[in-house]
Structure 1
């Protein structure tokens, strides 16, 4: 059996520093040399199984703390998919992890096939957007899901675009206080594109349009300043980084042109965020203000959502920020955007967990909510959520009610302003959340809307719980926080 090597140097170093230990002290406690520990922290050597056990005892953590985030996500999705009643009895988390460890390529192919099956089922029942059928040879997949998976595989970080945006910002000396005028001037002088007010026929629901013939970027008159700034940066990205964007899309080997078009938008948006919030300056400021989103808004002239999304992309190898997950949902619970630089598991089927504070934020519009939460694997998170709805521009229009969530593991929480006043070690203050009811194995959750997939139900007639069924204990496992 192929041994799975674990490289988690940054996680190990952060954990050591949070416990105020030197390399020499930790090396002595683990009965290894300081040089060996240094090589593990720089990802020159993997963390062996024996050392995982020693670290677990030394710091009082779960052994999977150092597991590969990508493998954890893959194992979670594999367990969720393979527990569909279509396959009979469910598989256990350990079985899914073993499958990923031994044959990751086979696991990926199984998931690809299962997604194709789901897409065809959804198409047949007309419950979701019809899958494009122009490319008969392509796998039947939803383009949005395919692009999301690709972005996730990159940990929401595209280094070439990030560095290109940073170089351009430094070369042109773009400053936050003059960035709007600087962007307009650069777009005009370099590409001959001027900015125009959106005409009456811009189109209902349209916010901007690039007219190549007129060499004009038309933008909605009702848009806020930070949105207009971002759109200009997006167009600069499309023009400035066309070759780089197309090269990365070709390398992604997406299944159809719809997915490629969505990826093109995603990469141009990424460049725009990196140009408005250059990596080095933004990360330094974020650390200085302890990741205070509102202060970062003011410093860079951006929106709350733009700052949250940018924070989730700061994973440059030699200078990473805190690994954050990012989520954007509407009031109905539909996931509009999601990405994660953490091991956080998003539900692939169904909506997010109702206990999660991103839902509660709709009851407190404009207010930042902080929550300590734990997922079924025992990992605890600091979760921040707030609504980001904008004015519809007219009483006759309906504003779009959306909220964003940002979060990190509690080991990083102390570096943020949002840990203020929270007892990060108080297990009684933790809310137990899951990846969504269909995939969550918590058997005693009073918020459960649906039974977990693949588990037999015990529907008794002489007793009744909060939900009208019990999960059969013989074939289910209840996860708890250790």
Structure 2
């Protein structure tokens, strides 16, 4: 198979700018001509292996970090934003969009921020009308959107916290008890925090409540042991790594205090996942067990959701796992958690493609279902989905139901036990899926909800197919 050419001119330019070097000086250190460097920075030439090695040798650059995965991710986001009716302009070609994303990623990010503001403005206009002008919140993304995009663009991998979580996991493993017992002993021994499982935390559906003065951590007794362990690890992260989290948050330059607070929770959750599923042990076990979700959950005493989410974060330089996408989808099709280390990117707004097997998972709760799927760009995936129901109490208490979705590109299917009896050699084995209807250009989708915004419609009153139009 021919190696894929790497066009990362924006990243090369960023490295040179950070070093404060002219193109001539930078090219000299790399052992190439200035004109060649200029072509690389403008994505007119791909980066050769010798240039990558020179970057690593002269500027301590991690070659693994110089992938174009973030370019693919941003390309999907910008394409979706351009398809929004709010943009309302003539649609640029796919080649033009790719050129902007590759050569001017900062501009592309600014465009996405502007698009978010436009969407919020439209939504608030519909709901608030006259009060919109008095609202000062339109110029900034919502805190949750800021934090979501932060994790999205760092590949959902935070190296410092991952190492810290792994160190705690190694300590807990030495205790030779359950993760729950080991974490409870650690927080009591190291921080004089007593863990109490009982009714106090169950009021108003709380999972956890920490009292800094009395040094008591209350946990909901109705939670599974794996969730209780996760909540203890979360609290340990907040106590032990406050300074590290603050530094990460400050570097992210969030626009609001709410976003900083939300990110801190996200970072503590990340640390907890790294502690109960330590990186190296987990990536080795995942390979040995061929990514069997149930067996991995049993081995580490965690839930399948924790295992699936952790699989999507295995992006450590030099020890990467199989690249997965992961999502959590509610019954209305809204994606409430999302991350992709693959080329498949989720819609930032609206519901997921109805042909995706995540929706069918609700028909067979607590059973993993499989799908061979192909996206409009020709990429093929092995998709897994599992519907999960979490009861929170008695008869009158709410029941939380959602689907977990996990998948990888078909080239990695042999590493998964779920791919053993499937036949990826047959094109007919793959079901067509998209990102969302408004940016999917498949002409004959029987589940299309709205027409694609980049295609002209032809409406013939004398004919009617699955939808009342055809695409030119």
Counterpart in 1 of 2:296?
296
Structure-2 change in CA distance of 1:201 and 1:265 (3 Å) = closer
Aligned to 2:413: 413
Asked if the contact 1:70–1:153 (Cα under 8 Å) also holds between the matched residues in 2, the reply is yes
Change (3 A) 1:142 1:172: same
Inter-partner Cα distance in structure 2 for 1:319 and 1:257: 35
Q: Residues of 2 paired with 1:450 and 1:41: CA distance?
A: 48
Aligned to 2:427: 427
Structure 1 residues 276 and 213, CA gap change in structure 2 (3 angstroms): same
Provide the C-alpha distance between the structure 1 equivalents of 2:366 and 2:441, rounded to a whole number of angstroms: 33
SS of 1:315's partner is: coil
Following superposition, the deviation at residue 177 of structure 1 comes to: 4.4
1:231-270 matched pairs, under 5 angstroms:
231-270=231-270
> Any idea what SS the aligned residue of 1:403 has?
strand
1:466: which partner in 2? 466
Could you tell me how far apart the structure 1 residues matched to 2:184 and 2:50 are?
44
Q: Is residue 83–residue 438 contact of structure 2 (8 Å, CA) maintained in 1? A: no
Aligned to 2:218: 218
Q: CA distance change for structure 1 residues 174 and 305 in 2, over 3 Å: closer, same or farther? A: farther
The answer to whether the 8 Å contact 2:376/2:442 transfers is: yes
Q: Which region of structure 1 is more displaced relative to structure 2, 333-342 or 193-202?
A: 193-202
- Paired residues of 2:353 and 2:436 also in contact (CA < 8 A): yes
In structure 1, distance between residues paired with 2:458 and 2:205: 49
The equivalent residue for 1:126 is: 127
Change (3 A) 1:173 1:350: closer
* Cα distance between partner residues in 2 of 1:45 and 1:407: 35
Preserved CA contact (<8 Å) 2:201 2:218: no
Is structure 2 residue 105 aligned with structure 1 residue 96? no
Could you tell me which residue of structure 2 aligns to residue 116 of structure 1?
117
Change (3 A) 1:301 1:213: same
Q: Distance in 2 between matches of 1:175 and 1:373?
A: 44
1:172 to partner: Cα distance: 5.0
Q: In structure 2, what is the equivalent of residue 401 of structure 1?
A: 401
Q: Is 2:350 the counterpart of 1:353?
A: no
Mean CA deviation greater in 147-156 or 204-213: 204-213
User: What is aligned with 1:378?
Assistant: 378
Other-structure match for 2:195: 195
Residue 80 to residue 292, structure 1, CA distance change in 2 (3 Å): same
In 2, Cα distance between equivalents of 1:435 and 1:116: 22
- Asked if 1:146 corresponds to 2:155, the answer is no
Q: Secondary structure at the match of 2:400?
A: coil
1:329 matched to 2:329: yes
Q: How many angstroms does 1:312 deviate by?
A: 0.5
Work out the CA distance in 2 between the residues paired with 1:292 and 1:189.
35
* Aligned residue in 2 for 1:72: 72
Q: CA deviation at 1:143?
A: 1.8
How many Å apart are 1:138 and its aligned residue? Answer: 8.4
Higher mean displacement: 251-260 or 296-305? 251-260
Shift of 1:301: 0.3
Whole-angstrom distance in 2 between the partners of 1:176 and 1:447? 52
Three-state SS of the structure 1 residue aligned to 2:205 is coil
Distance across 2 between alignment mates of 1:138 and 1:195: 42
Deviation at 1:40, TM superposition (A): 3.6
- Alpha-carbon distance between aligned partners in 1 of 2:378 and 2:50, rounded to the nearest angstrom: 24
Indicate if the aligned counterparts of 1:438 and 1:451 stay in contact, CA closer than 8 A.
yes
Partners of 1:468 and 1:214 lie apart in 2 by 66
Rounded to whole Å, the distance in 1 between the matches of 2:360 and 2:53 is 44
TM-score for both structures, normalised by structure 1: 0.81
**TM score, norm. by length of structure 2:** 0.83
- Mapped partners of 1:117, 1:224: distance in 2: 42
Residue 53 of structure 2: aligned partner:
44
Distance 1:307 1:201, change over 3 A: closer
What's the secondary structure of 2:99's corresponding residue? helix
**Residues 410 and 399 (structure 1), Cα distance of their counterparts in 2 relative to 1, 3 Å cut:** same
Q: Is the 8 A contact 2:372 2:430 kept in 1?
A: yes
CA displacement at 1:45 relative to structure 2: 7.1
Q: Partner of 1:59 in structure 2?
A: none
Alignment correspondent of 1:387: 387
Report how far residue 364 of structure 1 moved: 0.7
SS of 1:414's equivalent in the other structure is helix
Q: Which residue of 2 aligns with 1:56?
A: none
Could you say what secondary structure the match of 2:407 adopts?
strand
- Contact 1:351/1:436, CA 8 A, preserved across alignment: yes
Give 3-state SS (helix, strand or coil) of 1:150's partner: helix
Q: Which runs of 5+ in 2 are unaligned?
A: 1-6, 12-47, 56-65
SS in 2 for 1:327: strand
Q: Does the CA-based 8 Å contact 2:77-2:348 persist in structure 1?
A: yes
Are the equivalent residues in 2 in contact too, given 1:198–1:208 (CA < 8 A)? Answer: no
Cα 1:197–1:67 change in 2 (3 A) is closer
